[in-house]
Structure 1
């Protein structure tokens, strides 16, 4: 399927999405090399960019046309307005975001000349996204067609949000990231679709990765069977620059390989989140899981051509133009 045909799906984005979780201010500095223990080195200019996996996913879905509500917490510092302003600029409704005392979520990122990095995550206000908060926003949370979850919030909060939305008939898409191999049984039962990368999939299911990274010759039928035994009838396994695989036991074709979209990447920060946000928007707009993943390949590829996470996300017109040729 060509780019024009896949990207025509952007005309069909109309659905409603809820995302609950993290918003982070990303402090990033580049240096020739990463410092050793106890060592001080000189880096380049410090950049402050909006991030957080959940905030990124919400921004990506909104930029391509979905109606998105963000749920979570920001602090009482200057970063709170910065994060909310960035989401609002992307078109995300932040009415229900809670404000708490103390710092907002932050990450401190050091990147070397080869692109290797170290990241320190300080949850800040994200740690105060509690079960009580989820209960307080229940009515607004279930107004959407799809709920997006990741694991940068307390696991009991993520589980409560999944349960509330699942019981209300809202489709739940869980991104097991930051990765945990021990997902609560209640969270698995309340989640409809799992999104993981190839390494996370292998760890979660106890499956060996191919030694030569030949994912095309991999036994995806075995993965689907193991995924169903784990508790998911539907899943997407992303393969970095090699595309993705859609596993859907409910579809006529249960295993679909989604081809990668090749671009000249300058920064892959937040590309996975733009993929997730696009899948959320697609599912909310009555697209199939494979249609959503195909569109997400283009949207996330576009994000790789710009710097930062939310700062690199395009709207429908920009993405169409980028792949017009």
Structure 2
């Protein structure tokens, strides 16, 4: 079985569902409120575990009720939490508004995630034994860099989701094997709005790029190869929260299993398409059996 290590954030998602998101200065009435375990790191960990990999989470939660719940949720999803620290103070939270079109707006308050600014004893050993290391940008950049450099020292594949998008230092990019921005993040990183052109520009900094395109699927680019576009299954979305993390976590498992890139992207897109048909982030992520069944159905309908 593959082993995926995740270095990143854990948050409690505080989700309000509304017909239309409020504008600045506007108050609207929501129809429902939920607390759902999330955070980009934890989301990717759960997605990879559901997709059939052994997964270990490196990060931190607070010494509060949310922290206990976040740890328990990860463990129940099959994620090892031996390297998930507990710190004084609150856990991270994400305040999310989801509208009737499935769109969302998010405010993240880091909490305990802000304390993850270095690798703790044993973290590098864990990373060294993994098939891949998943990274995001909801913890301090110093820890992201330390994790990426540790993975590079041990020839472990690094996959970075550049979200929340920010300027990426050259020393971090030098340790990244695969960069997975969405089309807006790709544009922000390059100043180029066309996803194909943005992906090509990013190849000056990293060897492989996957730009996620929402309902349009994904675009893969690698040095010395023609770009590859893989469409996504057509579904009706009810909540897109966590779809990108579902895609990345599932993609990491597919690549660790040795699947060709086209097949890996199609499998990850199938997982993401299932997640957007359900509410929440970690709570929406499909299991391997569901992904395989839907992928088989997609093949029958397109053949």
| TM-score calculated relative to the size of structure 2 | 0.91
For 2:83, what is the secondary structure of its paired residue?
coil
Q: State the match for 1:15 in structure 2.
A: 2
Unaligned runs of 5+ in 1: 1-13, 210-214
Shift of 1:117: 4.1
Q: State the match for 2:301 in structure 1.
A: none
- Identify the match of residue 288 of structure 1 among 260, 266, 288: 260
Q: State the match for 1:142 in structure 2.
A: 128
The answer to which of 143-152 and 280-289 deviates more is 280-289
For 2:221, what is the secondary structure of its paired residue?
strand
Q: State the match for 1:51 in structure 2.
A: 38
Moved over 6 A (4+): none
- Identify the match of residue 247 of structure 1 among 218, 221, 230: 221
The answer to whether structure 1 residue 159 and structure 2 residue 145 are counterparts is: yes
- Identify the match of residue 317 of structure 1 among 282, 285, 289: 289
Shift of 1:42: 4.1
Report the Cα distance in structure 2 between the residues aligned to 1:86 and 1:45, rounded to whole angstroms: 22
Matches of residues 77-226 of structure 1 in structure 2 within 5 Å? 77-113=64-100, 115=102, 117-133=104-120, 136-180=122-166, 182-209=167-194, 220=196, 222-223=197-198, 225-226=200-201
Q: Which whole-Å deviations, capped at 9, do the CAs of 1:144-175 have from their partners, x for residues lacking one?
A: 01000000010111011100111111110111
- Identify the match of residue 278 of structure 1 among 250, 253, 257: 250
**Contact kept? 2:15, 2:34, Cα under 8 Å:** yes
Q: Which whole-Å deviations, capped at 9, do the CAs of 1:103-137 have from their partners, x for residues lacking one?
A: 1111122334555544221100000112153x552
Q: State the match for 2:271 in structure 1.
A: 299
Structure with larger Rg: 1
Report the Cα distance in structure 1 between the residues aligned to 2:42 and 2:295, rounded to whole angstroms: 26
CA distance change for structure 1 residues 246 and 84 in 2, over 3 Å: closer, same or farther? same
For 2:203, what is the secondary structure of its paired residue?
helix
Q: How many residues align?
A: 297
Report the Cα distance in structure 2 between the residues aligned to 1:106 and 1:224, rounded to whole angstroms: 31
CA distance change for structure 1 residues 34 and 208 in 2, over 3 Å: closer, same or farther? closer
Unaligned runs of 5+ in 2: 298-303
Report the Cα distance in structure 2 between the residues aligned to 1:56 and 1:76, rounded to whole angstroms: 20
Q: State the match for 1:232 in structure 2.
A: 206
Report the Cα distance in structure 1 between the residues aligned to 2:17 and 2:198, rounded to whole angstroms: 39
Report the Cα distance in structure 2 between the residues aligned to 1:47 and 1:304, rounded to whole angstroms: 16
For 1:300, what is the secondary structure of its paired residue?
helix
The answer to which of 57-66 and 35-44 deviates more is 35-44
Shift of 1:65: 0.5
Report the Cα distance in structure 1 between the residues aligned to 2:276 and 2:27, rounded to whole angstroms: 31
Report the Cα distance in structure 2 between the residues aligned to 1:198 and 1:189, rounded to whole angstroms: 22
CA distance change for structure 1 residues 32 and 264 in 2, over 3 Å: closer, same or farther? closer
Matches of residues 32-43 of structure 1 in structure 2 within 5 Å? 32-35=19-22, 42-43=29-30
Q: State the match for 1:9 in structure 2.
A: none
Shift of 1:257: 1.1
Q: State the match for 2:300 in structure 1.
A: none
Of the two structures, which has the highest relative contact order with CA contacts closer than 8 Å and spacing of 6 or more? 1
- Identify the match of residue 70 of structure 1 among 57, 61, 65: 57
Report the Cα distance in structure 2 between the residues aligned to 1:160 and 1:84, rounded to whole angstroms: 23
CA distance change for structure 1 residues 323 and 285 in 2, over 3 Å: closer, same or farther? closer
| TM-score calculated relative to the size of structure 1 | 0.85
